[in-house]
Every structure is written in C-alpha cells, then in structure tokens.
C-alpha cells in the first residue's frame, strides 16, 4: 500500500521588501468545495493547472492530493468555484537549502503577504529569513480557502 501524501507546512507574515526580487509566478485559484474537513481547489500557476484535494489540518499537517490537469479544463472549473477567486504572485526564494514561497496577494486580499515553507516533518528545524514576521500557521483566517470567503481587506481593523 502506498503512503498517503501529507503536506507539512508552516506559514508566516512577511516584513520588508527584500523578497520582492525573487522569481515570481502569477496564480489564480478557486474552491469547488470549501469545508473544514476537505477543500477541493482548482489552480492555474503560470501556464500549468492543478486540481488539489486537501483534508483537515492537524497541527501543521494535512492530507494533500494534487493532480496536473489540462489548462482549458482548469479555466472551465474556475467558473464553477464557490466565492471569489484568489489571485496572487508567488515568489520562490531559496534560503538555507529550503524553498520559501512568498505569496503577494492581489485584488480584495491586496496588502497581505504570507510566506510558507513545506517541511519533511513537523519537527524539522529551519533557519528563519530576516524578512519573516509573526507565525500564522494555526490562524485559519490566513488559509487561502478562507481568504476567498472573507478577503483580507474586509477584516476588521486590528488597531
């Protein structure tokens, strides 16, 4: 029996602008199902497309199944998605042997910049880049699926 694919990810707010010079790819994604126990996402990243099914988060881990799909299928599936689509530029940054993905959100989520790192285990140590801010891994407001329902610009002021 094959092992179930698991995503182990940590998420942080980003400070400063040093990350902006990294290679970036435009992403557009939407959710066919957005439930606490499962999400079904359609994503176009540059010129490639994926269908992703994720299970519930347990700490920093969750089941994740991702499949490449034809770009024209993804374009049609995005029209079936619940709520507004998420658009962002993803910057890829190699730092201390790991790849950080910094998402610069657009549209109703503009102003939000979040860095993610995928790890091999929940205990894996990593060096924090100087532009890394507060950790938001467990804060569901920062889940992309929730940003589609309650965009960053509609959040109540934190001041």
Give the pLDDT confidence of 65-99 residue by residue, as tens digits. 999 999 999 999 999 998 789 999 999 999 999 99
Name the residue range of residue 55's domain: 6-154
Question: Do residues 143 and 15 touch, judged by C-beta distance below 8 A?
Answer: no
- CA dihedral over 141, 145, 146, 152, signed as positive or negative: positive
Give the pLDDT confidence of 33-51 residue by residue, as tens digits. 988 889 999 999 999 999 9
- In a domain, residue 1? The reply is no
Question: Do residues 45 and 27 touch, judged by C-beta distance below 8 A?
Answer: yes
Alpha-carbon distance 134 to 118, whole Å?
Answer: 17
Q: What is the CATH number of the domain that holds 110?
A: 2.40.320.10
- In a domain, residue 135? The reply is yes
Alpha-carbon distance 48 to 76, whole Å?
Answer: 14
Q: Identify the active-site residue in 31, 67, 95, 142.
A: 31
- In a domain, residue 159? The reply is no
pLDDT at residue 57 above 90? no
27 is catalytic: no
Indicate the average pLDDT of the chain.
92
Residue 157: pLDDT band with limits 50, 70, 90 = confident
- In a domain, residue 24? The reply is yes
**pLDDT score at 6:** 84
Mean pLDDT to the nearest integer, 120-126: 92
- In a domain, residue 145? The reply is yes
**pLDDT score at 1:** 64
pLDDT at residue 113 above 50? yes
**Structural domains counted in the chain:** 1
């Amino acid at each position: 029996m094959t092992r179930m694919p698991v995503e182990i990810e940590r998420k942080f707010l980003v400070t400063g602008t040093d990350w902006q010079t990294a290679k970036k790819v435009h992403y557009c994604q939407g959710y066919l199902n957005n439930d606490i126990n499962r999400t079904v996402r359609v994503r176009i990243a540059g010129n490639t497309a994926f269908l992703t099914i994720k299970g519930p988060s347990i700490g920093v881990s969750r089941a994740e199944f991702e499949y490449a799909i034809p770009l024209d299928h993804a374009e049609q599936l995005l029209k079936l998605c619940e709520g507004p689509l998420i658009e962002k530029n993803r910057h890829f940054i190699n730092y201390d042997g790991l790849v950080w993905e910094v998402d610069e959100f657009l549209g109703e989520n503009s102003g939000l910049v979040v860095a993610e790192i995928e790890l091999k285990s929940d205990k894996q140590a990593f060096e924090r880049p100087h532009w890394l801010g507060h950790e938001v891994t467990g804060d569901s407001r920062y889940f992309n699926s929730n940003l589609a329902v309650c965009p960053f610009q509609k959040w109540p002021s934190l001041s």
